[in-house]
Amino acid sequence: MGAACTAAPNAFTRLIQFVSTSKTQLTELVNSIFYTGLYATLALGLTLVFGVMRLVNLAHGDLIIAGGYLGVFFGVNLGLDPLVALLLIVPVMMALTYPIQRGLLNPLLAVGEEPPLVATFGISLVIETVLQIGYSSNAQSLNPSYGVTGIDILGTNVRVIFVIALVIGVILVLATHFALTRLRVGKALRAASEDAEAAASLGINVKHIYALTFAVAAGLSAFAGIELGVAFSLTPTAGLSWLLIAFTVIVLGGMGSVLGTLVGGFAVALAQEYGSLAFGPQYQDLIVFGLLVVVLVIRPNGIFGRRLG
């Protein structure tokens, strides 16, 4: 009881300081903007898979971490800069995941919604086990110069990696949206997402489309893995926490909405930064997931609704 009584005045004091410090508020706003790119990249592959197959990929967080560890592997063995290593990591991730969807998840999707969901959970456990065998449970990180250096933006020192992450996030989101709405393969993806049987009757290879979607999502997750490895650190079991963040982003932005990942990413970053400033960092996750619950109650389909694009 005494601890609770002490915590309440401390939280109230932080709230007063938050309201009265305009410069700090600007700093948090700037930080939120630059975290948006990272969070959008985290969620992009997850929303793509859900938008096309209506599948919540529980292995998504571990695929992100696996992409980061591939950055460690290529950095140690080939001496490649993490961003340059993406030229190898993305096709490797796609090549590894295409047959998983084609050979394992596609047959399960024909059975019902639960079997592929359970299968993705199993895939996540396999990835974690492989990473623990290869790298133990010790944290790994990528250490290019842009991971620690910063630049001044509106009086706020922003690490260069978050500037890079914002640029990458916006480019990936816009490129994915363009591909879905303008390219032939994107239109095939949208057709398969709306009515798989009708798409198949028109000559679209739905099984290939599903496998391609899963592979592209894994390739996109590699960008997030590299960004996390540079900005923070990687552990084999960190996938779940990042999966929860990504899931919150796509629920806020709209399940299946590609453009919504930017809006959802900004909303999550804003809630984290201002919530941490107002009530303390120990409440950060509580505030974010509380926002998730509120949105699910008020607008279950998210800001942009449940549509692919």
Contact 15, 278 (CB under 8 A): yes
**Average pLDDT score over residue span 246-267:** 93
3-class SS of residue 302: coil
Q: What is the pLDDT of residues 121-178, one digit of tens each?
A: 999 999 999 999 999 999 999 999 999 999 999 989 999 999 999 999 999 999 999 9
Q: Is residue 216 part of a domain?
A: yes
Place of tokens 């996109």: 220
**Average pLDDT score over residue span 262-285:** 89
State yes or no: pLDDT of 306 exceeds 90.
Answer: no
Report pLDDT for 23: 63
State yes or no: pLDDT of 278 exceeds 90.
Answer: no
Structure tokens at 18: 């938050």
The amino acid that residue 175 corresponds to is A
| Distance separating alpha carbons of residues 249 and 46, to the nearest angstrom | 10
Report pLDDT for 299: 80
- Tell me the pLDDT band of 275, cut-offs 50, 70 and 90: confident
| Distance separating alpha carbons of residues 65 and 234, to the nearest angstrom | 7
| Distance separating alpha carbons of residues 234 and 122, to the nearest angstrom | 20
Report pLDDT for 293: 86
The whole-chain average pLDDT of the chain stands at: 91
Instruction: Say which DSSP state 138 is in.
Output: S
- Residue whose C-alpha is closest to residue 248's, from 94, 60, 29: 60
Report pLDDT for 151: 96
State yes or no: pLDDT of 281 exceeds 90.
Answer: no
**Average pLDDT score over residue span 39-62:** 96
Report pLDDT for 294: 85
What per-residue string of b and e applies to 8-47 under the rule 16 or more CB within 10 Å gives b? eeeeeebeeebeeeeeebebbebbbbbbbbbbbbbbbbbb
Structure tokens at 94: 């796609």
Q: Is residue 245 part of a domain?
A: no
3-class SS of residue 301: coil
- Residue whose C-alpha is closest to residue 242's, from 255, 254, 229: 229
Distance from the Cα of residue 140 to its chain's centroid? 19
Phi and psi of 282, rounded to 5°?
A: -70, -15
How many domains in the chain?
1
- Tell me the pLDDT band of 277, cut-offs 50, 70 and 90: confident
Highest average pLDDT, of 106-115, 183-192, 218-227, comes from 218-227
Q: Is residue 64 part of a domain?
A: yes
- Tell me the pLDDT band of 197, cut-offs 50, 70 and 90: very high
Q: Is residue 290 part of a domain?
A: no
Q: Is residue 251 part of a domain?
A: no
- Tell me the pLDDT band of 296, cut-offs 50, 70 and 90: confident
Q: The domain containing residue 169 runs over which residues? A: 24-237
Structure tokens at 58: 């529980």
Report pLDDT for 133: 96
Q: Is residue 108 part of a domain?
A: yes
**Among the listed ranges 105-114, 152-161, 191-200, 286-295, which one has the minimum average pLDDT value?**
286-295
Q: How many CB atoms lie within 10 A of CB 120?
A: 23
**Average pLDDT score over residue span 253-273:** 92
Phi and psi of 300, rounded to 5°?
A: -60, -25
Q: Is residue 153 part of a domain?
A: yes
Residues 6+ apart with CB under 8 A from 196: 206
